[in-house]
A = this chain, B = another copy of it.
Amino acid sequence: MNWAGVSEPFQEWWAKRTRAGWFDVTRIPFDEMEGWSFDDETGNLVHASGKFFSVEGLKVTGGNGRGTWTQPVIHQPEFGVLGILVKDFDGVPHCLMQAKMEPGNINTLQLSPTVQATRSNYTRVHGGRPTRYLDHFRGPGRGQVLADTLQSEQGTWFWHKRNRNMVVRVTEDVPPHEDHQWVSWDDLRRMLRIDDLVNMDSRSVIASLPFPPDPEVPTAPAHHSLGHVLSWFTEAKTRCDWTARLVPLAGVPGWTRSARRIADGAGDRFDVIAVRVQAGNREVPGWTQPLLAPRATGLAAFLVRRIGGVPHLLARAGHEPGLLDRVEIAPTVQLPDATAGGDGPAPPFLDVVEGATREQVRFDTVLSEEGGRFYHARTRYRLIEVGDEVPVRVPPDFCWTTVSQLRELVGHGHYLNVEARTLLACARSL
């Protein structure tokens, strides 16, 4: 791993955590899974307890994009907590980060938030040990809440999935468990440039961190007022002409189930697979579970352009079938785009992203998506600086916004999709 200036103590801790445990992840046939089966009536892939999550069908109706179409989708109704504790050490803000293994992760171990727990986990409905540090986020003794919103996750693969993103400041002494480490913002921003290190949940919460403060730009305002941006977004939602709903997985045409996978006919989207996980650390028992395995590395890129001297990101009103409100603010270009289908025209500005020169590339890192649900799902995140060749006037689904404006919107739910939040975290690391 190219540590790119990350501090030595962190590197040493990470090496130790890497040696401390590993997962052996094996792809298995569906019928070797324990507790998981296809429901006789619906064909949905469900757990015998009715808990965890299920793989069901998603049907999209109407719209000028692909018309009516279906796909499998992961349904996990409950809200988990993704929380980062922050604390100043000698005036320097630090985040308490966790080294966490997930079966779908590239490298198994990635950097996670202080707390990353489903509701079933943290309410301990099925027993189990208490979630570490949870008391700092919930209940009477918690710290100062700096951010607390429900944020969406991949609307291409999840149905209405959201997690509670929290940032909590503490002033008291909070000793790190061996899986946890206090990390300075300076280290964290360097880590964001390392492939497959900072996991999706961390990036999502980092987008809401109160540091670094936005630079003061008193004389150069944003190209559009925040009111204009909100109006643009509302207008885009009213143009949305499709609806989506869950259907039985058995009723999803064009996808075939074999012993080891559910795959689309064209084979260019994703597989649903089953894995057996065996942990090198004896304390963690093994288990089996389904995972969604995308066929290709995704792409998420914001164009960045100075307007009146102020850097602006080109936001897009992105349509995703699994988002609760169907449309959220997305990167300028994002692939895969389920609503576009496979044979439509190339998305606007893809040529600009793909044709960028080395000088134009401000950020370019391949990062992993949620390793608890996705198998080796990776996205290439890019910030591409452009000039006058990309005009200030853009098509109706696009709007030039500042980092400050996106930061303000990420203080609420239903605005930035998870890829836009990752890129907002990355933009703030520059």
Contacts and interface: CB of A to CB of B under 8 A. Distances in A.
A395 interface: no
Interface stretch (A231-239, A349-357, A365-373): A231-239
B238 A79 contact: yes
Given A412-B412, A414-B413, A145 B231 contact: yes
Nearest to A80: B238
A256 B149 CA distance: 42
Contact of A234 (B150, B227, B325): B150
Contacts of A426: none
Interface in A364-418: 411-414
A164 interface: yes
Interface in A214-236: 227-228, 230-231, 234-235
Given A119-B238, A325-B324, A413-B414, A148 B79 contact: no
A77 interface: yes
Interface string A289-326: 00000000000000000000000000000000000110
A48 interface: no
Contacts of A166: 231
A243 interface: yes
Contacts of A237: 79, 150
A147 interface: yes
Nearest to A144: B227
A146 B227 contact: yes
A148 B234 contact: yes
Size class of the A contact interface (CB-based, 8 Å): 20 to 34
Contacts of A138: 235
B227 A147 contact: yes
Given A147-B227, A414-B414, 11 more contacts: A119-B238, A145-B227, A148-B234, A149-B230, A149-B234, A150-B234, A166-B231, A230-B411, A234-B413, A324-B325, A413-B414
Nearest to A325: B324
Contacts of A119: 238
Given A146-B227, A230-B148, A238 B414 contact: no
9 contacts: A145-B228, A145-B231, A148-B234, A149-B230, A149-B234, A150-B238, A230-B411, A325-B414, A413-B414
A119 B239 CA distance: 10
Contacts of A411: 230
A429 to B, nearest CB: 23
Contacts of A230: 148-149, 411-412
A228 B238 CA distance: 31
Interface in A131-166: 138, 145-150, 164, 166
A175 B324 CA distance: 41
A149 to B, nearest CB: 6
A161 to B, nearest CB: 14
Interface string A116-127: 000100000000
